[in-house]
Amino acid sequence: MNWQEIEKLLNRYFEGETSLEEENQLREFFSGDQIPEKFSGVAAYFSFMQSEAARFLDKPGFDQQVIAGSPGNKMSKIIKFRQQWYYWASGVAVSIMILVAVFVKFDPFSPRIEDTFQDPQVAYQEAKKILFFVADQLNNGTSRLEPVTRFETGLKSLSPVASYDDGISEISRLNHIDKTSKLISSN
């Protein structure tokens, strides 16, 4: 196997895209003696992985230790208790929210709105009278804003001055050119 193939396989290995057969090829290659200098770190990685696998997986009783550490242990009981507590607490919170919503919707303590007029024609006349009063007050309030509109028309007549301001800002750029020319001439 040439170095380029090994490099491609390593890239795929570290991306998690190799098959078991390709991983075995890499293990065989890095367990050999002729490993280039540029792959020395990867060779150390593969030798470490091989020694650790032999250390734990070939150990008698390893399977029993894994089974002993599975859901029957104390930690899993604590996690289950926490999950049950979360379910219980969320159920209580939802119940309280439902009770509040029902109480707000069907508030027994608020007074009920009742009709103040028996005759609809009288109610219409009263509403019309109130709306005319509101419109009159609104018109009185806006009439006091008339001096503000005169001020605004005065500001509109000053808009040509803004174009002069734009021209002056363009002239200020010439100051930068002047400063630059002075710096160049002083050097």
Determine what percent of the chain is predicted with pLDDT higher than 70: 82
Domain-located, residue 27: yes
Residue 153 tokens read as 């028309």
Q: Is 51 helix (H, G, I), strand (E, B) or coil?
A: helix
For the stretch 138-166, pLDDT in tens is 888 777 777 777 777 877 777 777 677 77
Domain-located, residue 77: no
Instruction: Give the per-residue pLDDT at 69.
Output: 64
Q: Is 160 helix (H, G, I), strand (E, B) or coil?
A: helix
Domain-located, residue 16: yes
For the stretch 2-57, pLDDT in tens is 778 888 888 888 888 888 888 888 888 888 777 877 888 888 888 888 877 766 66
Domain termination residue (choose one: 13, 28, 59): 59
Based on the structure, what is the number of domains in the chain? 2
Domain termination residue (choose one: 12, 44, 59): 59
**pTM of the full predicted structure?**
0.32
Domain-located, residue 98: no
Residue 29's CB is within 10 A of a number of other CB atoms, namely 19
Q: Could you give the CA distance from residue 98 to residue 93 in angstroms, rounded to a whole number?
A: 9
Domain-located, residue 150: yes
Domain termination residue (choose one: 59, 88, 104): 59
Domain-located, residue 181: yes
Instruction: Give the per-residue pLDDT at 180.
Output: 81
Domain-located, residue 34: yes
Residue 126 tokens read as 């009263």
For the stretch 126-135, pLDDT in tens is 999 999 999 9
User: 77 pLDDT exceeds 70?
Assistant: no
Q: Which one, of 14, 18, 16, lies nearest residue 39 by Cα?
A: 14
User: 66 pLDDT exceeds 80?
Assistant: no
Q: Could you give the CA distance from residue 67 to residue 80 in angstroms, rounded to a whole number?
A: 18
C-alpha torsion sign, points 48, 52, 58, 59: positive
**DSSP secondary-structure letter at 187?**
-
The secondary structure of 70-82 as a DSSP string is STTSHHHHHHHHH
Half-sphere exposure of 13 (CA within 13 A, CB side): 17
Domain that includes residue 156, residue range:
125-187
Instruction: Give the per-residue pLDDT at 53.
Output: 72
CA angle 87, 91, 95 (to 5 degrees): 175
